[in-house]
Structure 1
């Protein structure tokens, strides 16, 4: 199968949370959101190593989390770069030489189902690149700068992309290196692979795998933790 590594990206400031504390360190069920995410990947047997990429000011407290919660699979805690893409590239550097397959996951997505993580990885092993996603529920409109609707894409072709995203390690590394040379910044890792002409396949996830980004997400997250995906119910 090859060794499986994970890069957890948690270097963002979280300005949309409208709080002084970055969203990944806010409490959810008595623990920081990031700790829930780390615990989830620590518990997946097939994962060999984890690299955590955080803000430079948060290196010390994250290192304390690793010790306090016995996250033995976390091999490196690194300071992130200017963009998310830079942070992932740093994570790839830390995994280099020991990993055949890599998952990239948002630190503020603590509720992805372990079986979906593995499904995404298995799809990548078949196809080289795969991402978790869900069909869009709402009607989507393309709107111009003046706030006027320009078009309505067919909802059946629209998927909301989640993480983890899974890749052959060498493929994702090459995609990042090419993007760096070209000065290209993508919105996710799949986009860097897509621009190389490599197909990226979708694996259907579920709507509980939320990204905790705004204050409105916190009570929803508390409900998911209590009723669906908390460590006690796993």
Structure 2
């Protein structure tokens, strides 16, 4: 596929990770002997469908990024490093502006999801090629309740229709760029890229992810990821 379509990946690593209370951003914490972010980039660097990687980092993390991620690992596909914005949406747009103009597809992924697989990335790209927009997720396992401000239950949605959204989220480049530009003009802030495409009327295809494709947000997540890395995941995917 990579010989026909150019696929760019934006990896987001600009968050401050304040919930970790570790003194450094979560993307640089050690997981299996290497930084979380290095694990994430490694998967995209290995994925045959990915042509280039743009990493978006916090402006205060330039030194640690260079010394702990860029220099020690021989990543082949990193073409640019962008400065993070005031929120996730702004960070994605900063990265998007550095994407190669000839890119057909753009994949957006959280740097703190190091257990993504090349198979998930590939299927996400294939779905976006077919439909224009796709996001990875998994069916929810728990019953979900909608509550009011006083924490009274208002209703119980049908669990069979609910998915927990992960990344990557993948789009034709023009769709993602237009969605971000329109959101910026309107002053709309979304929690993910999919909602920006949805509000322009695009149908977003759901792609089955994995319950192991976790986002590392807390110390407990990091410990769980260590267990998954050691006992369950075979990284030769």
Which TM class, normalised by the smaller chain length?
A: over 0.9
For 1:46 and 1:135, the matched residues in 2 are separated by: 26
> Residue by residue, what CA displacement relative to the aligned partner does 1:20-48 show, whole Å, maximum 9, x if unpaired?
22111111111110010011111112211
> Residue by residue, what CA displacement relative to the aligned partner does 1:171-193 show, whole Å, maximum 9, x if unpaired?
10000000000000000000000
Question: 1:2 aligns to what SS in structure 2?
Answer: coil
Residue aligning to 2:62 = 59
For 1:229 and 1:67, the matched residues in 2 are separated by: 26
Number of matched pairs? 233
Residue aligning to 1:183 = 187
Task: Tell me if structure 2 keeps the 8 A contact 1:66–1:74.
Answer: no
Once the two structures are TM-superposed, the CA of residue 151 in structure 1 deviates from its matched residue by 1.1
1:1-234 aligned at under 5 Å gives the runs 1-64=4-67, 65-229=69-233, 231=235, 233-234=236-237
Task: Tell me if structure 1 keeps the 8 A contact 2:133–2:170.
Answer: yes
Question: 2:218 aligns to what SS in structure 1?
Answer: coil
> TM-score of the superposition, structure 2-length normalised?
0.95
Question: 1:130 aligns to what SS in structure 2?
Answer: strand
Question: 1:203 aligns to what SS in structure 2?
Answer: strand
Question: 1:218 aligns to what SS in structure 2?
Answer: helix
For 2:71 and 2:93, the matched residues in 1 are separated by: 25
> Residue by residue, what CA displacement relative to the aligned partner does 1:60-79 show, whole Å, maximum 9, x if unpaired?
22233223201120111121
* Cα distance change, pair 28–11 in 1 and its aligned pair in 2 (3 A): same
Task: Tell me if structure 2 keeps the 8 A contact 1:133–1:205.
Answer: yes
Task: Tell me if structure 1 keeps the 8 A contact 2:8–2:100.
Answer: no
* Cα distance change, pair 66–98 in 1 and its aligned pair in 2 (3 A): farther
Task: Tell me if structure 1 keeps the 8 A contact 2:10–2:54.
Answer: yes
Once the two structures are TM-superposed, the CA of residue 148 in structure 1 deviates from its matched residue by 1.5
> TM-score of the superposition, structure 1-length normalised?
0.96
- Write out the 4+ residue segments of structure 1 that deviate beyond 3 Å after TM superposition: none
For 1:88 and 1:222, the matched residues in 2 are separated by: 28
Q: CA RMSD in A?
A: 1.2
For 1:12 and 1:152, the matched residues in 2 are separated by: 33
For 2:56 and 2:232, the matched residues in 1 are separated by: 27
Task: Tell me if structure 2 keeps the 8 A contact 1:143–1:150.
Answer: yes
> Residue by residue, what CA displacement relative to the aligned partner does 1:188-208 show, whole Å, maximum 9, x if unpaired?
000000000010010111101
For 1:169 and 1:66, the matched residues in 2 are separated by: 26
